[in-house]
Amino acid sequence: MIGRLALGAGMVAVAASGLGWVVARRLTAPVGARRFDLTVHGIEDDGDGCWIVLDRTDQTTSAGRYNLWFASGGWAQVSAETLDRGTTRIARRVEKRAPGLTTRVGDRTSWSGIYYATPHDAGLHARDITIDTPAGPAPAWRFDGDGSKWAIHIHGLGSIRAGTLRGVLAATELGYTSLVTTYRNDGEGPRVGNGRCTLGATETPDAEAAIEYAVRHGARHIVLFGWSMGAAIALQLANSSPHRDAIAGLVVDSPVLNWTEVIKTNCTRSGLPAAAGRLAIPWLTLRPLARLVGLPERIPLGAFDWIARAAELTTPTLILHGAQDDSVPIRLSQALQDRRPDLVVLETFDGGHTLSWNSNPNRWHHTVTTWLGARSPS
pLDDT at 70: 97
Strand pairing of 108-112 and 136-143? unpaired
**The Cα angle at residue 146 between residues 145 and 152, in degrees rounded to 5:** 70
Name the DSSP class of 51. Answer: E
pLDDT at 48: 82
The DSSP string of 97-143 is E-TT----TT-EEEEES---SSTGGGT---EEEEEEETTEEEEEEEE
Q: Which residues contact 75 (CB under 8 A, 6 or more apart)?
A: 67, 68, 69, 97, 98, 101, 117
Coil, helix or strand at residue 221: strand
What does the buried/exposed string (b/e) look like for 170-194 if buried means 16 or more CB atoms within 10 Å of the residue's CB?
A: bbbebebbbbbbbbbbbbbbbebee
Q: Which residues contact 356 (CB under 8 A, 6 or more apart)?
A: 253, 254, 320, 321, 322, 347, 349, 364
pLDDT at 17: 66
Secondary structure (H, E, C), 142-181: EECCEEEEEEEEECCCCCCHHHHHHHHHHHHHCCEEEEEC
- Rounded to 10 degrees, what is the CA torsion of 38, 41, 46, 48? 20
49-75 tens-digit pLDDT: 899 999 999 999 999 999 999 999 999
pLDDT at 185: 98
Task: State the angle between helix axes of 229-240 and 203-216 in degrees (0 to 180), rounded to the nearest 10.
Answer: 60
Q: Cα–Cα distances in Å, from 195 out to 32, 277, 280?
A: 10, 22, 19
CA–CA distance, 237 with 249 (Å, rounded to integer): 11
Residues of the chain with pLDDT under 70: 1-17
Q: Which residues contact 355 (CB under 8 A, 6 or more apart)?
A: 62, 64, 113, 322, 324, 349
Q: Which residues contact 328 (CB under 8 A, 6 or more apart)?
A: 228, 254, 255, 256, 257, 262, 265, 321, 353
pLDDT at 18: 86
219-240 tens-digit pLDDT: 999 999 999 999 999 999 999 9
Cβ neighbours of 270 (radius 10 Å): 11
- Residue 232 carries which side chain, given as an amino acid letter? A
